Chains A and B, each alone.
Chain A
């Protein structure tokens, strides 16, 4: 294996230019017809675009040369282990670690803390969520090992969420469903999914397209259920402040 650093970087930059073009056109149209901001302000936005452009380019380059190939390779090694059940606790640790420090998660736990007047504290929410995501990734590993359909997990999950909705307030429903994306931080999609695809490739009888993917779906379901349940506990314990449903 040779070391790749900037291989294919031009293609990535071209891709990123195309990716940012719609937003640029959108802003330009609003600037001309509606906002009419002074030149100095427009230059600031231009700087923002340049930073975003280089940011996205480096990010995607890092994923292409680093996370995707190494993640897949690591997964393939793990998938050929004799003791494959080790994957389940390892999945838990990865999920827990990815969520515990994730900035988007801490914004959400803060929100819940405020909404419940501290009754559901940041810490409690954080541990619940990190454990939940850990379990989700463990279940994804189990799915790869057993070839079980994603439906067995998704369907009961969403059913539970929709039953909980009827006992919840509008605010908690909103926070819960908004939180679906918070636990899927930059490492989950770029690296952990690549590992899962690698594992699934190495295991006979496992289809990477159906089994390797589906992890993000499970990770996204965890915060929804966690917030709804904690919200329910809060409302039942007499937290009537947000009883607006």
Chain B
């Protein structure tokens, strides 16, 4: 039950401060109709309950399996299989990532349906999956992190010359939301599992870092490519 209490605190800490600021703003400056405040508080309640159940479900039920798969993968001795697993898991977790769904819905609404949420979620998950696969390749072949980071972002800035202005903001935002409470622990579990078995202990310290940073480049590139296709 320790787990449940910690999760409860975690949810409260993530949601209450901004809620408080909003309530103060409402009282001092904004004065929205009373119904809107009630509607906001219903939102706070539902999001809190939802986030709480979600974290418990993912951390206690799903994540141990991700860790198990991460540890077992290297014993297959097949680089191709490890990379393919990284790719498929990348898609599966992004599709279920709450922040990705919310951002996609907002973009769909603001663009008045031009950029549909489904297409956006699909591109983002493909982008993430490709970069998780790349991260697996990096771990297996010991490529230094900064080569891939600089290469990835160089590609981002190169591509940006061909992307319509309207897609720039949403592509960078997509990179930020993908690394949420679903994707991060799974990618880490998989990556650390693979790295710890493939390598000896001597150089494992720097290895657990960098996976997420690398993975978040994928969605930026993917949405930019989507923008180029839209033009």
Contacts and interface: CB of A to CB of B under 8 A. Distances in A.
A73 B48 CA distance: 21
A102 B9 CA distance: 11
B146 to A, nearest CB: 5
Contact of B216 (A61, A169, A180): A180
Contacts of A23: 62, 92-93, 95-96
Please report whether the interface of chain A is mostly helix, strand, loop or mixed according to DSSP: helix
Contact of B10 (A103, A213, A215): A103
Contacts of B211: 178
B40 A56 contact: no
B67 to A, nearest CB: 11
Interface in B68-93: 68-69, 72, 88-89, 91-93
Nearest to B173: A216
B148 to A, nearest CB: 10
A192 B33 CA distance: 19
B184 interface: yes
Given A180-B176, A181-B212, A215-B173, A187 B40 contact: no
B95 A208 contact: no
Interface in B170-186: 170, 172-173, 175-181, 184
B95 A177 contact: no
A19 B101 contact: yes
A79 B144 CA distance: 46
Contacts of A70: 32, 36-37, 39-40, 43
A215 to B, nearest CB: 7
Contact of A102 (B14, B169, B184): B14
B2 interface: no
A220 B9 CA distance: 24
Dominant SS among interface residues on chain B: helix
Interface residues of A, number: 107
Contacts of A48: 57-58, 60-62
Contacts, number: 326
Contacts of A58: 46-47, 49-50, 53
Which size bracket describes the interface of B in this complex? 35 or more
B103 A1 contact: no
A132 to B, nearest CB: 14
B158 interface: no
A126 interface: no
A97 B18 contact: yes
A66 B69 CA distance: 38
B42 to A, nearest CB: 5
Given A210-B165, A217-B173, A60 B53 contact: no
A81 B146 CA distance: 45
Interface string B151-171: 001000100100001101110
A59 B50 contact: yes
18 contacts: A19-B101, A23-B93, A47-B57, A48-B62, A51-B61, A60-B98, A64-B105, A74-B22, A74-B36, A103-B10, A104-B181, A162-B150, A178-B212, A184-B179, A189-B177, A193-B103, A209-B111, A216-B172
Interface of A: 1-5, 15, 19-20, 22-23, 25-27, 30, 34-35, 44-70, 73-74, 77-78, 81, 86, 90, 93-94, 97-98, 100-104, 149-151, 154-155, 158, 162, 165, 169-171, 173-182, 184-187, 189-194, 197, 207-217, 219-220, 224, 242, 244
